[in-house]
Chains A and B, each alone.
Chain A
Amino acid sequence: MRYCKYCNLHYNTPLDHCLFCNNELTKTNLENSQQMMEQTYLYPEFQKRKNSKRFLLRLYTFLGLIAIITCVYLDLSNHLEKGLSWSRYVISPIAYLLFFMSIITSSKKSIQKIIYLSYLTLLFLVYLGSIGDSSVWSIEFVMPLGLISINITMLFFLLIKKRRHHDYAIYSMLTSIIGMLPIILLFTHRLTYTWPTITCFLYSLTTFLGILIFTPEATKEELKRRLHL
């Protein structure tokens, strides 16, 4: 045991100096070789963490913002009256990558990350299509087929991960509901190619009803939990 004669404190920890007055600690008379052996630190040694992931995210955010501001300035300085044109092709992938990286580095569950990343990618592709001359490929093909892909992925997880069936049933139901939404476009827009949107709607509806019918009790229970007030 160590002792600070200035503060009148006994130390169980093998420090050389007093924590409060910084004077050298003396060994008490009681201290023999066995006690010396026993006197150890009660807590593990602090080790500084290297948070390179966070640093890279910050660096990318910084560089991305600089690139966005520069592009917007250059774009607007040439065609202020037309608004943003080519710079949107630069801004959108930078923003996409930024969101992508923040989702990847977040503490969410893997399945949630997959869902968020899938929808983010889909949104990015649809936006990319919408800023071009023709949005047909993105709105009429990429969006419905992408939503079907997400639904199939969720159904795949639902079927193979029996242990988390309740969770995945809800995720599948949610993706199915989202998959049914593009049908609205059929009524509000004149779509050139209607079959992908109709297929997406029918597939999503089938999945939704399938989950409701084949796992009614489990889904009902999970829904009750998720919606409890």
Chain B
Amino acid sequence: MTAVVAGYGAVTGLGAAADTWAGILAGRSAARPWEDLADEGFGVTTACRVTRLPPGDPVRRGRALADAAVADALVLADGALHGVAPDRIGVYLGTTMGESAGYEQATSSFSASAHHGGALAAHVASLVGATGPVRAYGTACAAGNYAIGAAAAAVRAGRVDVAIAGGVEPFSRIAMVGFARMRAMTPDLCRPFVAGRRGMQLGEGAAFVVIESAARVAARAARARAVVGALGLASDAHHPTSPRPDGSGMAAAMLAALSRSGLSPTDVDWVSAHGTGTPQSDAAEAVALRSVFPAGVPVSSIKGAIGHTMGAASAVETVVAVRALEEGLAPPNVNGSTPDPELGLDVVVTPRAADVRWVLNCAYAFGGLDSALVLGRAA
């Protein structure tokens, strides 16, 4: 059975899915300084926060982001849930900090279970009326891939008929302080794969896809927007935060995804890189890419455009990959038009028209987590 994306939705610093895609193609960045962060004493005040939604209750920001992205995905999926038994609908959600403001504003009656990703997943399940499997992946900056990969596998195996899968990450002040103190954040722009890159930029956002079997989408005369292939996972088992410099874990995940999808590296037309803009991570990723794709492959990162949206990142990147497959366009590496030649990568610097049949979406995380998800053009 083939799993396909029937609908997608996203909300980022650039806007909804269509605006995010258009903004990336135009080379726009959502990064800007924020007065409230300056007033609160943050040393780094530039971030890529969502302005599409009203501020609302900060402790329920993740839920609001998820609501917006899921709603858009269901509209595009055009009747995906009609006539589906609730226990045949699954929800697969990834996040890093959950409702971070819940921790930031904790009182003596704090309860972690009210704020972690499990609460967000339960919220989405309630939103769509799902009583099937509900999974919350706390796999940090790779969580979106984990969720979407698991959802597609569940559809292929017949464990669910429809899966709502994605990632959510409201703006986290904890992460803003943490990354800044680790000296991982750039003082200016996030420039993935550029010589002299100085670090990441924090973002917030959410993205969800509706996944069904290709047969089911065809039966209800809806449109399949992309094929979801296999997920490849590996671990560095090396360091709490730094990747293996030889990129071996990253490469293992990429090769596993391709192998499990019945593909070889030469089948890949574009790699959506993790590309955080940090010196170490980008360098390790470049080593991994060169080892998996010795003949080269077009590569770009969207984090220069929308920042690092952590648990939502690879879910947003999945939506962008679907757009790339639909449009036959590899998007540019925003803020990265002068790639470091020492990295030896074919970095896409302007939108590149191409016969995009297969995309590999890569995401890595603290704790040495390595993930790669295959996405393909729908028939």
- Specify whether A and B are partners: no
A residues apposed to B, CB below 8 Å: none
